Amino acid sequence: MLPEYDFQVLKLTSKFYEDYPNPPYVEIETKQSRRYNCLLIQTHYDYFICVPFRSRVKHKYCYHFKNSVRSRRGQSALDYSKAAIIKNTDYLDTVQGIVDSDEYVEMMHHINKIVAEAVSYVEDYVAFKNNVDNHITIQEFERRYKFSTLPYFHDILGID
């Protein structure tokens, strides 16, 4: 049974991008002309997981949309590997994000699965880095997290 989670779709503020510039934070998704829409998940931890909507994702560490116009054009997804871990609420825009209506409907239909996968992706990373649980091999860890944003958030995630 999945614990209760609050969630919403929004964007991160320009303050977030000022504090996490590219470089050196090269894995954080940015585009010069716009900020990414994200699924913001309020966890039972003391932080939010902000999972970006992306138009082209080729790996499996995400939720691939199957029924949207964008997904038929190119593998759109909610990308867990590019999630930002947010504690500072100044990084959260107060305006609701806008996403394709068909992706929103599909997301809502699968929200429990998406939240469980996103939280699990982060929890597996933290457990591995803290040597708490080694149910994944070093090779699998490297495959999953090679291009992940999570190393940027060790302070928030409680990793030494």
Please give the average per-residue pLDDT across 28-50, as a whole number: 85
Say which CATH number the domain at 69 has.
3.10.129
What CA–CA distance (Å, rounded) separates 160 from 143? 22
High-pLDDT (> 90) share of the chain, %: 71
36 half-sphere exposure, CB direction, 13 A CA radius: 21
Question: Looking at the predicted structure, is the pLDDT value of residue 29 above 90?
Answer: no
* Enclosing domain of residue 109: 6-157
- Does 147 map to a domain? yes
Whole-structure pTM value? 0.92
- Does 135 map to a domain? yes
pLDDT value at position 74?
79
Tens of pLDDT, residue by residue over 98-150, are 888 899 999 999 999 999 999 999 999 999 999 987 789 999 999 999 999 99
- Does 13 map to a domain? yes
Of 93, 114, 125, give the one whose Cα is nearest residue 17. 93
pLDDT, the chain, mean: 90
Question: Looking at the predicted structure, is the pLDDT value of residue 83 above 70?
Answer: yes
Domain count, the chain: 1
- Does 89 map to a domain? yes
pLDDT value at position 1?
45
- Does 1 map to a domain? no
Instruction: Sort residue 76 into left (φ over 0), alpha (ψ -120 to 50) or beta.
Output: beta
